Chain A
Amino acid sequence: MKRLYIVVSLVMVLGLVLAACQTATPETIIETVEVPVVQTQVVEKEKVVVQTQVVAPTEAPVAAGESLPRNETLYFNGQQWGPVKCWNPYSSNCNNALGLAAQDNSRVPMFETPYLYNMMDGKQYPLLADGDFTWNDAHTEITFKIKPAAHWSDGTPVTADDFAYTWASYIKYNTNAGNNYKDYIETVEAVDPQTVVIKAKLNEEGKAVNPLQVGHYLSGAYVIQKAWTETLEARTGGDATAFLTDVAEDVVYSGPYHKFFADETKVIFVRDDNYWGQDASMWGKLPVPKYLAHQIFKDNAAGSVALAQGEVDVSQQFNSNVQVLWENYNLPVSTYLPEPPYGIGASLPTAYYNLTSNGLDQVAIRKAIALAVDYDTIIANAMTNQSATFDQVPRSLMNPTPGEQAMYDHDAVADLQWAGNDIEGANKMLDDAGVLDTNGDGNREWNGQELHYVATCPNGWSDWQAAIEVVAAAGEKIGIDIVTNFPEWAVYQTVVTKSDAPLPEGYDIFMMWTDGAGPTQPWGRIRHLLSSEFVGQEINWNGNWGQYSNPDVDALIQAIPGETDEAKLKEMYTELVRIYLTEVPSFTLMYRPQSFHTVNESVWTGFPHQDDGTEPPVPPLDLTDGWSIAGLYNLQLVNP
């Protein structure tokens, strides 16, 4: 009996030790359970993506105490982290992800922009605007018309006065949008009730300071009703802080959805069945789901479980090893592309060099480290293959979208592009540059000092940490000591964004993001990666955190926005790529999608997928951002 007791105890202690060694998370459990593999990709099923079913307005929304009908509700995850604080489109603090996100691909279920950006073809499509916008001959003014059908949720028409007053309020109250565009836009004026003119700020030569940024305003800033803004002003008595912090539960909007319910656990939007966009001049029908609901998950693992369970239809979070859900579990889950990289890369998470660290002022050392890094491992581990490799999309300054890839001459820089893990090439480069291990300790020296660097990124950003570890491992192979350090984000960001002094010790190689896809790209991304205008800023949230400075690059960045000749533009972009790949002030570690986009087709189908037949193609941006909202009109029930 005593022996049996010992055996039982031992088994339990062993279990204990194992449990302590590796804490199982839903992610690891999903990853490690091996189920007989059934190679099914749901996307490959033949289905009609564009359908013409017109949604009839339905009865009144559900009452308190009742449940939303599943077949009228589209569930999201990954956008809303934490409770919604307000509904004020002038505020930047509402934490209202589904409702308020004016950006490159503005989120438009509730508030609308005159145009919708489509990252798939780089074009802006009219929403509130009627037809294309036009530049005047001097390229200093944009004019567009407003659709006669466009009206606010209170039934009043959207007029040019609304646009003018919105701009004036952005400036008057120092809003994010105002700050963002005030250096580029002089005024927004109403020519007549249906016609809006945006006048660019002019430089000394009488040219627009930056036509790209003026164009960006068309799809990057919401229009807000003048009458409601005046109500808000009256309520807050002209106090800017009160104006920007007003909860705005009474806000008037022009989009197809508005607030239905929000608390600590979720936010629900309900369709406005009087939405103007059902007019033939826009969508010709209402969006299909009556409700958009977003449960507030506390981390990615919880969101992934809900996606797998079919409780989430559209997932905008990073789901580690997402392919396991259909390959191993045969779930009706899919991504935009059926195979790796599963989505369309848009931004370029980047390792920056502190150019004042010993040796990192030398191109050979910078490039050697970048050559030696094993990017395939980063992509496989950190991104679980949800990034294109550098063999598939050779490195440049462009993201993998076809539009951006066409903007530089690939052949002209082919000999400068590297795919990584080139230890031999890196060692040779260092040897040729005289960066040698003279004292025989296995580590190279420069300026009489051992080459020793700290590679860093914020703690808890697991994909970035995995990438930084691979960078450090590359150093060992080429005789450069690279150790990692992961400070808390609160500390990290304060250090990295202080560009008025050299970066401190411990920040030799560090990771930050780049711009994604948008109407000013790739120019905006290149500016943020390389422009010296940010060096010297006390608080620099723009970019070039390694404080690189090159007058030739600055001149090109300055010239591109005013250039309209496409051949010339291509030449300029190619030159920028050439300089970037030659000087290596920073280097791309992986490609990352604008938004992760995974769908579960248990209830809804007709989501955007590659070659789904939509024209223009609906981008994989969760049916909320920019042109991707077109996807809401294409959904169908799996079991009608």
Chain B
Amino acid sequence: MKGYMRYFGKKLIWFIITFIAAFLLNFILPRLMPGDPVAAIVARLAQGQSNASGVQAIYEQYTELFGTNEPMYTQFLLYVKNVFQGDFGFSFSQYPRSVADVLRSSIWWTVILQFPAIIIGWILGNSLGALAAYRKGWYDRLILPVSIFASALPAFGMATILLVIFGVTLKWLPTSGGYDVSMIPKLNWAYIWSVVVHYQLPFWSIVLIAIGGQAIGMRSMSIYELHADYVKYSRFLGVKDNKIVRYVFRNAMLPQITGLALALGTMVGGALIAEIVFSYPGLGTILYNGIMGQDYPLISATTLIITIMVLIATFAIEILYGFIDPRIKAAQSD
């Protein structure tokens, strides 16, 4: 156990170093992009302005307000101070809204769409992959090509196909929005039903692609494990098939768990394509527009959340691996 604590401590130190580096990069990288974010805001305001000095005045007003006229280290110190007080400042692209307000209003749509989609995609994909590897025959012949097709289809293509078939042609499901456009939201059955119905197309457009990718990965890993020496040896020893299968899939699952953790860690980045095709609310398009509009505070805040989530997820996986894969614990404890 002492060795394990040392392993844990070492990991923690590395994660803190990684966090500091990522925090610095989150601040610096967006600011290295060519272009001037304040000019973008002025562009929005100056349309129809005929007065030249007026435009200049607006520009100066905003550079001062956002502090983009200050040297970068001053901006950084201010940023650090504010972030530790939980203040990410104003969003440039959505001024006068604060970054916190922007994130608060969109993040739930993203989490509710992404989290179940990732989990269900992962479970179904891995189950199908394992089935294809274990049962072979027609299962494999059907699951493999379908999985390749689904995973290789661009997200935009999958979303559009679902939109055209179930939204436009069959008219079974609505084509856009998070809930009925005519509805004034209130937590009642009609509203929940509307949200559920609008949820289907964006959800399945993510899940179907995820299933394909996971199934292919799981199938390959399972086939590899099924032919491993320990499986053959177990069979010679007369170990029951059920038990062998349990070992096989536990081993095959390991890289898939890492993939799941990373997917969950980055989910806040949003399902950009699904959001665009189905005009679904969420952080994906907001972050995309923020990047395009050089909205430093919004980019930094979102990437900071993603950084923290990925670090937590990978840290959790490291710890979890110690339990689910005794080889790792054994190696680290030595």
Per the 8 Å Cβ criterion, residues 55-77 of A in contact with B are: 62-68, 70, 73, 75
With most chain A CB atoms within 10 A of its CB, the pick from B46, B56, B178 is: B46
Per the 8 Å Cβ criterion, residues 290-311 of A in contact with B are: 293, 295-299, 301-302, 305-306, 308-309, 311
Tell me if A627 counts as interface (CB < 8 A to partner B): no
For the complex, what is the distance from the CA of A85 to the CA of B94, rounded to whole Å? 8
Q: Is the CB of A12 within 8 A of B94?
A: no
Q: Is the CB of A179 within 8 A of B51?
A: yes
Tell me if B119 counts as interface (CB < 8 A to partner A): no
Tell me if B57 counts as interface (CB < 8 A to partner A): yes
Which A residue's beta carbon lies closest to that of B168?
A305
Per the 8 Å Cβ criterion, residues 24-41 of A in contact with B are: 24-26, 29
- Determine which of B46, B50, B177 lies in contact with A265 in the assembled complex, contact meaning CB atoms within 8 Å: B177
Q: Is the CB of A297 within 8 A of B176?
A: yes
At the interface with chain B, which of A46-54, A335-343, A534-542?
A: A534-542
Q: Is the CB of B96 within 8 A of A309?
A: no
Q: Is the interface of B mostly helix, strand, loop or mixed?
A: helix
Cβ contacts under 8 Å, B145 to chain A: 8-9, 12-13
Tell me if A497 counts as interface (CB < 8 A to partner B): yes
Chain A's nearest CB lies how many Å from the CB of B132?
13
**Contact-size category for B:** 35 or more
Q: Is the CB of B191 within 8 A of A65?
A: yes
- Determine which of A63, A93, A178, A491 lies in contact with B96 in the assembled complex, contact meaning CB atoms within 8 Å: A93
Chain A's nearest CB lies how many Å from the CB of B191?
6
Which A residue's beta carbon lies closest to that of B294?
A490
For the complex, what is the distance from the CA of A407 to the CA of B44, rounded to whole Å? 31
Q: Is the CB of A67 within 8 A of B276?
A: no
For the complex, what is the distance from the CA of A260 to the CA of B182, rounded to whole Å? 12
Chain A's nearest CB lies how many Å from the CB of B109?
7
For the complex, what is the distance from the CA of A66 to the CA of B179, rounded to whole Å? 12
For the complex, what is the distance from the CA of A178 to the CA of B45, rounded to whole Å? 13
Tell me if B88 counts as interface (CB < 8 A to partner A): no
Q: Is the CB of A541 within 8 A of B190?
A: no
- Determine which of B36, B53, B61 lies in contact with A183 in the assembled complex, contact meaning CB atoms within 8 Å: B53
Cβ contacts under 8 Å, B34 to chain A: 490-491, 494
Which A residue's beta carbon lies closest to that of B288?
A298
Cβ contacts under 8 Å, A67 to chain B: 180, 182-184, 190
Q: Is the CB of B48 within 8 A of A20?
A: no
Cβ contacts under 8 Å, B40 to chain A: 489-490, 493
Q: Is the CB of A542 within 8 A of B153?
A: no
Cβ contacts under 8 Å, A264 to chain B: 105-106, 109, 178, 281
Which A residue's beta carbon lies closest to that of B189?
A65
For the complex, what is the distance from the CA of A244 to the CA of B285, rounded to whole Å? 27
Q: Given the interface contacts A26-B160, A542-B49, does A297 sit within 8 Å of B293 by beta carbon? A: no
Chain B's nearest CB lies how many Å from the CB of A610?
27
Chain B's nearest CB lies how many Å from the CB of A145?
27
Chain A's nearest CB lies how many Å from the CB of B113?
13
- Determine which of B52, B54, B109, B188 lies in contact with A533 in the assembled complex, contact meaning CB atoms within 8 Å: B52
Tell me if B324 counts as interface (CB < 8 A to partner A): no
Tell me if B254 counts as interface (CB < 8 A to partner A): no
Chain A's nearest CB lies how many Å from the CB of B120?
23
Q: Given the interface contacts A261-B184, A298-B279, A301-B277, does A538 sit within 8 Å of B149 by beta carbon? A: no
Per the 8 Å Cβ criterion, residues 514-528 of A in contact with B are: 520, 524, 527-528
Tell me if B42 counts as interface (CB < 8 A to partner A): yes
Cβ contacts under 8 Å, A82 to chain B: 94, 289
Chain B's nearest CB lies how many Å from the CB of A159?
27
Per the 8 Å Cβ criterion, residues 28-67 of B in contact with A are: 33-37, 39-59, 61, 65
Tell me if B164 counts as interface (CB < 8 A to partner A): yes
Q: Is the CB of B54 within 8 A of A180?
A: yes
Cβ contacts under 8 Å, A103 to chain B: 47-48
Tell me if B196 counts as interface (CB < 8 A to partner A): no
For the complex, what is the distance from the CA of A264 to the CA of B157, rounded to whole Å? 25
Cβ contacts under 8 Å, B65 to chain A: 241
Tell me if A174 counts as interface (CB < 8 A to partner B): yes
Tell me if A266 counts as interface (CB < 8 A to partner B): yes
Tell me if A86 counts as interface (CB < 8 A to partner B): yes
Cβ contacts under 8 Å, A555 to chain B: none
Per the 8 Å Cβ criterion, residues 71-120 of B in contact with A are: 94-97, 105-106, 109
Chain A to chain B: the 3 pairs with minimum beta-carbon distance, closest first: A179-B54, A65-B186, A541-B46
> Which chain B residues have a beta carbon within 8 Å of chain A's beta carbons?
33-37, 39-59, 61, 65, 94-97, 105-106, 109, 141, 145-146, 148-149, 152-154, 156-157, 160-161, 163-164, 167-168, 175-186, 188, 190-191, 275-281, 285, 289, 292-294
Contacts A/B (CB < 8 Å), 23 sampled: A5-B141, A8-B145, A9-B145, A20-B152, A67-B190, A85-B97, A93-B41, A260-B184, A263-B105, A264-B109, A265-B177, A266-B177, A298-B280, A305-B167, A305-B176, A306-B175, A306-B176, A311-B181, A490-B33, A490-B40, A490-B294, A497-B43, A538-B56
